[in-house]
Chain A
């Protein structure tokens, strides 16, 4: 089976202003990352704020173009495509956003919002479009009577369902979900995650799931990449990453998650300090400023990702 998405050595920088007569400074948002997503799997990217996970999502979706590297989607190289060439492909990759309030037009009835992708991507008549939109609203657990309401009449969880319905109208292959449940309460979060899993089976979807929440990611993913400061430090299948984390950052991240069980006593690796600025990246390994295992070689040399077998890839000198 060929991968649906292939990201090869992709980098992206953003300009960050210029000092008078000085050098232009840039933010290194994503640094030479590579990964593949197979059809039907859920691939997740986790990391803390500013680690480049949303930038990665936008690169895959061609909302941003990379500075270097290649992005392949469904057998085509898309990173150098123009917006016109890209448009027919957009049907196959849809996005679900974090903030369901900001991503629905407040002046449009939800059935119109859900039907709108069909207007762009298909030749269906207005009646057929609305019919399909209502079908999808029912599939995501809303009733037909909700279809003619406006977004403000819904709760956060229901709005996220509308966002999911809209992403599904054009029967995409890939859905990119950028923090889809982080603005929801836990009881609602579970509803939306369960819905996403049911839809994956029903519509044979592939998910690229972006989140900062390791427990949510564990529930929904097949494979996971951990990002730190624009680099992927560890990629592994779910059981492997949670059962046998190898990179010191992954270990620290996992141990920092509060466990909802007062009896669980665990050894906690508390990282010192903050994430360094992405404008002035540290030399050598990007994690060395906070790493408990840091030695001389880490300060000098950037570790290359190595495959430890069975798809477990780690970038660290001490593995």
Chain B
């Protein structure tokens, strides 16, 4: 069933300049789609480009050396890369909202919670102060904050990490965005609080039918939340698959290694298979497949030329020569 397309990212390329002449490519030819009401997971280890992908979609690279050098980002048919600053400011918050890893540092420490929420609501809707205040309290109640009227008069430092993340989510959802980008939303939280926040995000997705791009390094969170998953390595998408298939039959050697190296609760194992070596430096990328130096299946040609992202049966994609055997494989 072809569901309505929400976000369409095509051939996105983001480079960070280093000095005058050299630059590193943090996001390289990234293409993916999010449908309405879907939770898409974006996983990878630190430095793989998952956060830069999110910032590129939101166009929040202004104060960094980063620049989008190619591609398009279409939100409901509108190319965000062609929008003016003013248009973009309107789109952020209204159509796309983002929550970050550190809820504490994303809130203004000198403003009360209610003032921050009311500011965001009034900026994007024509609500009066009174209406905005009511809406703010409603949102705080929706994200499960007990006694919203009291909590809303607090400053951020008076709240715990879990509560601040709830406030962030309330703020992000206050203008009914169609897309929510969550960049490691629970990484800074304890497991019992993480369970509360994930539960809340599922509720939002179910009830408001928001599309969510969930960026995380935690495969456990991915397995529980997402319907589809993209795996990134060294700035590239290496695999895309529906979540069950990704975990039951990972195709790319990196995904295999990643899934195998996660300790599983209750498995009783004493040692784990690990991926040898470490992620290559972005400025010293090997030619050919970027995973080849750590890959146990690497062949001669892997080291020479980079394999394309192959489209496979069942809505899967994989960037590996091993996937070529798959009959329906077609290069993208």
Give the B-binding residues of A (Cβ under 8 A). 48-49, 155, 157-158, 185-191, 193-194, 197, 212-216, 218-219, 239, 242-243, 252-264, 268, 270-275
Contacts and interface: CB of A to CB of B under 8 A. Distances in A.
Contacts of B244: 262-263
Contact of A185 (B45, B221, B270, B272): B45
A48 B220 contact: no
B193 interface: yes
6 contacts: A185-B279, A197-B271, A263-B244, A270-B192, A271-B195, A274-B160
A262 B192 CA distance: 19
Contacts of B191: 48, 212, 214, 253, 256-257
B265 A218 contact: yes
Given A185-B45, A259-B223, A262-B243, A193 B264 contact: no
Contacts of A187: 45, 257-258, 261, 274-275
A137 to B, nearest CB: 16
Nearest to B271: A194
A254 B258 contact: no
Nearest to B248: A263
Interface of B: 45-46, 146, 160, 162-163, 190-196, 198-199, 217-224, 243-244, 247-248, 257-259, 261-276, 278-279
Nearest to B46: A185
B265 A254 contact: yes
Q: Name the residue in B194, B196, B263, B269 with the highest tally of chain A Cβ atoms < 10 Å from its Cβ.
A: B263
A274 B162 contact: yes
Nearest to A242: B266
A192 to B, nearest CB: 9
B165 to A, nearest CB: 11
A219 B269 contact: yes
A185 B273 contact: no
Contacts of A212: 190-191
B195 A256 contact: yes
B220 A260 contact: yes
A186 B274 CA distance: 9
